Amino acid sequence: MDQRVEVYQSKMQKAYEFMLSEFNTIRAGRANPHVLDRVKVDYYGTPTPIQQVGNISVPEPRIIQIAPWEKSLIKDIEKAIMASDVGITPSNDGAVIRLVFPELTEERRKDLVKEVKKKGEDCKVAVRNVRRDGNEAFKKLSKTEISEDEIKKLEDELQKATDKFIKEIDTAVEEKSQDILKV
CA angle 109, 30, 26 (to 5 degrees): 55
Helix axes 106-145, 3-24, angle to 10 degrees: 170
Distance of CA 94 to the CA centre of its chain: 32
Residues 20 and 109 grouped into a single domain = yes
Q: Given 53, 69, 100, which residue is the final one in a domain?
A: 100
CA–CA gap between residue 100 and residue 109 (Å, rounded): 17
CA–CA gap between residue 106 and residue 15 (Å, rounded): 30
Question: Count of residues for the chain?
Answer: 183
pLDDT of residue 130: 93
Residues 69 and 111 grouped into a single domain = no
pLDDT of residue 14: 93
Q: Given 70, 100, 130, which residue is the final one in a domain?
A: 100
**What does each of the 183 residues of the chain score in pLDDT, given as a tens digit?**
678 888 899 999 999 999 988 887 776 667 778 778 888 888 888 888 888 888 988 888 888 898 998 888 888 888 888 888 777 788 888 888 898 887 878 888 888 899 999 999 999 999 999 999 999 888 887 666 788 888 888 899 999 999 999 999 999 999 988 888 876
Q: Say if CB 162 and CB 10 are below 8 A apart.
A: no
pLDDT of residue 17: 92
DSSP-derived 3-state class of residue 103: coil
Residue 117 sits in a domain whose CATH number is 1.10.132.20
Non-local (6+) Cβ contacts of 6 within 8 A are none
Helix axes 148-181, 3-24, angle to 10 degrees: 10
> What are the two backbone dihedrals, phi and then psi, of residue 89, each rounded to the nearest 5 degrees?
-85, 125
Q: Given 50, 70, 100, which residue is the final one in a domain?
A: 100
DSSP-derived 3-state class of residue 53: coil
| Residue range(s) defining the domain that contains residue 59 | 33-100
Residues 151 and 132 grouped into a single domain = yes
pLDDT of residue 114: 92
pLDDT of residue 143: 64
Q: Say if CB 26 and CB 112 are below 8 A apart.
A: yes
Residues 95 and 110 grouped into a single domain = no
pLDDT of residue 170: 94
